[in-house]
């Protein structure tokens, strides 16, 4: 029986996270909030939000480690507490919490799978972000030699905890905004099945994003690394495919 928790990395979204937590509580899963080096005022606000809530755990980074570092902190805590799966969701309220049952249904049917949202955008979605995602998804197809990954950037997904922690341990992952892309590619390389579900993504007007212009450069760099690694892996991939084809005859 899967033991599921929810991880919320939080940096500068203390005005939104209370609403996200309240919507999540109705599903009954323990919630791990990671304070990613917020200011003293925001850290105190997070403490006040979480302190009287049952099964809400607040973890703290003294310095900002980035989204990936926060997710990994949550995953390691989940592993220590014997959770089998962790649902990652953003603190800013853009993800549709009400789609949690879609995730849990897939986990129950296929507990080995990574479960990820496939975003449906509203009219407020920045065109630059939509185009950027299309470019990233194109490169991910090259990096995995597969059309299986429909979207590699959404932060609303569920990980099998043990496999993801092991994958992170084996690789020198970047813990910033490129984490969502890299971990999905590397989990695919590790043989994890990846299941997708459609979900609406809300970009509120005048909303604040932690995504910076410099993150575009970092994404370009990580694609260079992943594409190069895929080229180096190609003989192994071809041999494995040939062996599988021969074995099935």
Least confident span in 47-51, 86-90, 109-113, 209-213:
209-213
In whole numbers, what is the pLDDT of the chain averaged over residues?
Answer: 90
d(CA 82, CA 95): 26
Q: Whole-prediction pTM value?
A: 0.91
Domain annotation for the chain: domains and CATH numbers: 4-248 (3.90.550.10)
Note the pLDDT tens digit of each residue in 1-59. 899 999 999 999 899 999 999 999 999 999 999 999 999 999 999 999 999 999 999 99
- Higher-confidence position of 141 and 174: 141
Note the pLDDT tens digit of each residue in 96-144. 999 999 999 999 999 999 999 999 987 777 787 788 889 999 999 999 9
pLDDT at 187: 96
- The secondary structure of 107-136, three-state, reads HHHCCCCEEEEEEEECCCCCHHHHHHHHHH
pLDDT at 23: 96
Which of 104-113, 128-137, 207-216, 228-237 is predicted most confidently? 104-113
pLDDT above 80 (res 206): no
pLDDT at 241: 63
Contacts of 49 (CB under 8 A, 6+ apart): 14, 17, 18, 21
Question: What number is the average pLDDT over the span 55-74?
Answer: 95
Question: pLDDT class for 202, splitting at 50, 70, 90?
Answer: confident
Strands 56-61, 31-36: parallel, antiparallel or unpaired by DSSP?
A: parallel
- Higher-confidence position of 237 and 243: 237
Question: pLDDT class for 82, splitting at 50, 70, 90?
Answer: very high
pLDDT at 180: 94
DSSP secondary structure of 8-62:
EEESS-HHHHHHHHHHHHTTT--EEEEEES--HHHHHHHHHHHTTSTTEEEEEES
Residue 88 CA from chain centroid, whole number: 5
Least confident span in 101-115, 138-152, 171-185:
171-185
Question: What number is the average pLDDT over the span 51-74?
Answer: 94
Q: Are 32 and 81 in contact (CB under 8 A)?
A: no
């Amino acid at each position: 029986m899967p033991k599921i928790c929810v991880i919320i990395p939080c940096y500068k979204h203390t005005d939104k996270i209370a609403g996200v937590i309240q919507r999540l509580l109705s599903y009954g899963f323990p919630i791990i909030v990671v304070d990613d080096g917020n200011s003293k005022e925001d850290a105190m606000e997070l403490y006040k939000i979480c302190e009287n809530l049952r099964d809400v755990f607040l973890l703290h980074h003294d310095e900002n480690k980035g989204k990936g570092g926060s997710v990994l902190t949550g995953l390691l805590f989940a592993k220590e507490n014997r959770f089998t799966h962790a649902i990652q969701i953003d603190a800013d309220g853009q993800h549709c919490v009400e789609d949690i049952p879609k995730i849990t249904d897939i986990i129950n049917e296929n507990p080995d799978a990574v479960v990820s949202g496939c975003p449906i955008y509203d009219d407020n979605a920045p065109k630059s972000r939509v185009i950027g995602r299309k470019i990233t998804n194109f490169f991910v197809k090259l990096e995995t030699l597969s059309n299986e990954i429909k979207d590699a950037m959404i932060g609303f997904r569920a990980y099998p905890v043990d496999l993801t922690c092991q994958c992170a341990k084996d690789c020198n992952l970047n813990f910033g905004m490129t984490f969502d892309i890299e971990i999905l590619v590397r989990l695919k390389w590790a043989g994890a099945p990846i299941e997708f579900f459609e979900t609406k993504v809300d970009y509120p007007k005048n909303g604040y994003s932690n995504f910076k212009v410099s993150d575009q450069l970092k994404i370009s760099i990580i694609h260079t690394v992943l594409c190069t690694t895929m080229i180096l892996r190609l003989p192994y991939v071809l041999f494995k495919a040939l062996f599988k084809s021969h074995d099935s005859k």
